[in-house]
Amino acid sequence: MTLPLEKFWDRKNRTAVLAASTGMILVIALVDWWTTPFVSLGFLYLFPIMLAAGFLPRPALVAVSLVCAVLSEAFSSLDPSGRAIRLIFEMLALAGCGLFASELLRSRRLSSETQERLRALVETSPAAIVILDQSGAVELANRAATDLMVPSAMNLMGQPIATFLPELQYALRSNSEAQLRASMQCQVHRGNGETFVAEVWFSTYKENGAPKLAAIIADVTEEQPEAIPPDPAGLDGSERQSLNDRQIAVLQLVLEGLPNSGIASRLEMTPSAIKNTLQQLFSKAGVNNRSQLVRVALERYRDLL
């Protein structure tokens, strides 16, 4: 989201802002000349330099800083013997502030452009894509996601994902500090009361320190005609079977999206040992594959992840 002050540096304002910066430099120089015996106003050159920083390349910004430093010293009432040293330090100070502002604005522009590209990609994708904020509300959803989950509504954004897909809420609020990258099979509840079996690929990440989640949702009801039964231990985990340390470690890495070989390397175990541990997890969770294991892990064991 663009802050009000950043609108000054919108590319369409380039000519106006550069003209204003030039005018400010001339006005400051004139007033500084007029008040030479009384006060020095050289510090005011910082403001036009920071305004121009959003549009000028680095060499031009340094050149403007040098010009402003020369003007400041030309109308200074200080001892002429230290003029050269003051000129160097003033030019460095003005150029440093200008370059800092330039890099900050360039970074914000790149971030904004990246977000706009991502938004365009999401909105035009035929796959159902949702992005959740830290509270579990839908921050961004494309038309495919809206048609899939709330066909009778106009907008999915702002609604809590727990209403439609509580497992994603569990993933967002898990205790894991690691990035979760996994897929799962689960039931999705449409806004009209219908349910369907979905394959969900999701990934957690942080933006400005706040946890977020992005997910792709696909209806696989025709491929999996048998509905997934509700998990009786899904709410509080009171009926879950206990896991040992090795099983918990393997389960955490499964949710991070690592294959068996990656898990074996991370835990310094053999691939056969990882396979045996996964079979134990399947048995305790009452599932047949990784996708189902991820769903059950988020429902029953999220406090351990």
Residue 222 has pLDDT above 90, yes or no: no
Residue % of the chain over a pLDDT of 70: 89
Q: Do 234 and 219 belong to one domain?
A: no
- Using 50, 70 and 90 to split pLDDT, how confident is the model at 227? very low
* CATH number of the CATH domain containing 184: 3.30.450.20
Q: Which of 166, 193, 224 is the last residue of a domain?
A: 224
In order, the DSSP letters of 72-138 are HHHT--S-GGGHHHHHHHHHHHHHHHHHHHHHHHHHHHHHHHHHHHHHHHHHH-SSEEEEE-TTSBE
Q: What is the pLDDT of residues 51-104, one digit of tens each?
A: 888 888 999 999 999 999 998 888 877 777 778 888 899 899 999 999 998 898
Choosing from 87, 117, 147, the residue where a domain stops is 117
Q: Which of the listed residues 224, 254, 284 is the one where a domain comes to its end? A: 224
Considering the domain architecture, whether residues 31 and 56 belong to the same structural domain is answered as yes
Question: Are residues 130 and 108 both part of a single domain?
Answer: no
* Site of tokens 């460095």: 92
Whether residues 287 and 305 share a domain: the answer is yes
When pLDDT is averaged across residues 39-58 and rounded to a whole number, the result is: 87
pLDDT above 90 for 300: no
Look at the chain and report how many structural domains it folds into: 3
Mark whether 16 and 106 lie in a shared domain.
yes
Query: The domain containing residue 98 runs over which residues?
Result: 4-117
Considering the domain architecture, whether residues 142 and 99 belong to the same structural domain is answered as no
Q: What is the pLDDT of residue 73?
A: 86
* Nearest-angstrom CA–CA distance, 290 and 288: 7
- Residues 154, 69, single domain; the answer is no
Burial letters for 167-189: b for 16+ Cβ neighbours within 10 Å, e otherwise?
bbbbbbebeeeeebebbbbbbbe
The answer to whether residues 206 and 267 belong to one domain is no
Are residues 214 and 135 part of one domain?
yes
- Asked if 135 and 213 sit in the same domain, the reply is yes
Q: What is the pLDDT of residue 175?
A: 60
CATH number at residue 277: 1.10.10.10
Is pTM beyond 0.75 here?
no
pLDDT tens-digit readout, 104-161: 888 888 877 787 887 787 777 888 999 999 888 998 888 888 888 887 766 788 889 9
Share of the chain residues as helix, strand and coil, in percent rounded to the nearest 5? 55, 15, 30
Q: Which of 155-169, 185-199, 235-249 has the lowest mean pLDDT?
A: 235-249
Same domain, 11 and 111: yes
Give yes or no: residues 217 and 238 share one domain: no
Whether residue 167 contacts residue 200, with contact meaning beta carbons closer than 8 Å, is answered with yes
CA dist., res. 179 & res. 263, Å (int): 15
